[in-house]
């Protein structure tokens, strides 16, 4: 698993309150399995997975596949591990912020997690995807899709309802995050290498990038 035959090492990190299903989510993503028993994560852990990434250009064409080795950091949601887990934020390129659709407090805490990210991540507006997990437990739902979507919009981040139990949107979420991070990478590198004005001189304007530029502005 850890041989160097890949093009990119991409590091993501899952965060959110205790018991929202971060570990299960990642387990579902990497192994396609689910265990309903609750095992609290001790501090930190990570899982790995290889995927092929095809960038989608603005014209909808897809580039050649890139081999991605993903390192998915799992963090303990419990408060007592906080100082440890937040120290790992800075090493992640993208974040999966989970809350539990059946637990309103975990949703209210999303705000706190976002501000933790702003403080500890590698830049003030890292790529984040918000996940309302446990959407399979429809009868216990405590957070409506609208209010979750509203919050995500406020932060300018994508929102998905997921289920680590049946796998709904699990792959989708990681793919979306990967796409965001890869796009940001392109922007960062091209910006520092290609003098302004020449990048788009004769190419089609990327509507996507201008639209996102507000929140994706970064220090580089």
Contact residues for other proteins (CB under 8 A)?
A: 2-4, 6-9, 42-46, 48, 55, 57-58, 63, 71, 80, 83-84, 86-91, 93, 119-120, 122-124, 185-186, 188-190, 192-195, 198-204, 206, 218-220
CB of residue 33 vs other proteins: minimum separation in angstroms? 20
Distance CA 165, CA 70 (A): 21
Q: Distance between CA 71 and CA 46 in Å, rounded? A: 7
For other proteins, the closer CB: 108 or 119 = 119
- Largest Cα separation within the chain, whole Å, is 56
Say which residue the tokens 């997975």 belong to.
49
Query: Residue 214 CB, nearest distance to other proteins (Å)?
Result: 18
Min dist CB 31 to other proteins, Å, is: 16
| Smaller CB separation from other proteins, 142 or 194 | 194
Q: How far apart are CA 194 and CA 141, in angstroms?
A: 49
Token pair in block for residue 206:
């990327």
Instruction: Please count the other Cβ atoms lying within 10 Å of the Cβ belonging to residue 7.
Output: 12
**Least Cβ distance, residue 118 to other proteins (angstroms):** 10
**Beta carbon nearer to other proteins, 36 or 83:** 83
Retrieve residue 157's tokens.
């981040």
């Amino acid at each position: 698993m850890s041989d160097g035959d890949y093009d990119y090492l991409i590091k993501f990190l899952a965060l959110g309150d205790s018991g929202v299903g971060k570990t299960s989510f990642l387990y579902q993503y990497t192994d396609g399995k689910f265990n309903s028993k609750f095992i609290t994560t001790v501090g930190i852990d990570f899982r790995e997975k290889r995927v092929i990434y095809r960038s989608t250009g603005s014209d909808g064409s897809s580039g050649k596949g890139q081999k991605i080795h993903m390192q998915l950091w799992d963090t303990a949601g419990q408060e007592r591990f906080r100082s440890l887990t937040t120290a790992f934020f800075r090493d992640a390129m993208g974040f999966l912020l989970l809350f539990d659709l059946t637990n309103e407090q975990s949703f209210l805490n999303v705000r706190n997690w976002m501000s933790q990210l702003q403080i500890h991540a590698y830049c003030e507006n890292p790529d984040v995807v918000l996940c309302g997990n446990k959407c399979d437990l429809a009868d216990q739902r405590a957070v409506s899709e609208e209010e979750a979507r509203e919050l995500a919009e406020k932060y300018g981040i994508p929102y998905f309802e997921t289920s680590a139990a049946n796998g709904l949107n699990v792959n989708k979420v990681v793919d979306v995050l990967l796409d965001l991070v890869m796009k940001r990478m392109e922007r960062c590198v091209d910006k520092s290498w290609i003098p302004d004005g020449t990048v788009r001189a004769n190419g089609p304007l990327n509507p996507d990038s201008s639209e996102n530029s507000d929140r994706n502005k970064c220090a580089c």
